[in-house]
Amino acid sequence: MKLFIVLYFANLLLDYPLQGDFLAQFKAKGNYFLFVHSAIWGLGIAIVLMYLGVFASWKLIMLVAGHYVIDYSKCRGVMKRRLKLGDMGSLYLDQALHVIQLTLCLI
């Protein structure tokens, strides 16, 4: 449980404050910026996994690719249109999917 709490705190830190206003704004407009955001997040989580002694290269690939797909769905309105979610619903689903990613990293 302690490992998960460390990973979730890192998720919150990397997904919001460390990405900056620029990436937050432009990841919704361009795939390059969305990839940069996903790579920063994935590499940051991978560093935490290394520190915790549970890193594997497949986890890095899953983290970056998964984060890209999840945020693409949120930023491009797919969650809102297909699932009929509002802003908060999209945010909750986004974070729930990231929690699943983090949980997979601990298996």
Give just the sign of the alpha carbon dihedral 18, 34, 95, 65: negative
- In the predicted model, is pLDDT for residue 22 greater than 90? no
How many domains in the chain? 1
Biggest CA pair distance of the chain: 40
Domain residue limits at 82 = 2-105
**Model confidence at 21: pLDDT above 90:** no
Query: What is the per-residue pLDDT across 88-104, written as a single tens digit (0 to 9) for each?
Result: 999 999 999 999 999 99
Closest CA to 35 of 44, 46, 26: 26
Q: What is the pLDDT of residues 36-91, one digit of tens each?
A: 999 999 999 999 999 999 999 999 999 999 999 999 999 888 898 999 999 899 99
pLDDT band of 32, cuts 50, 70, 90: very high
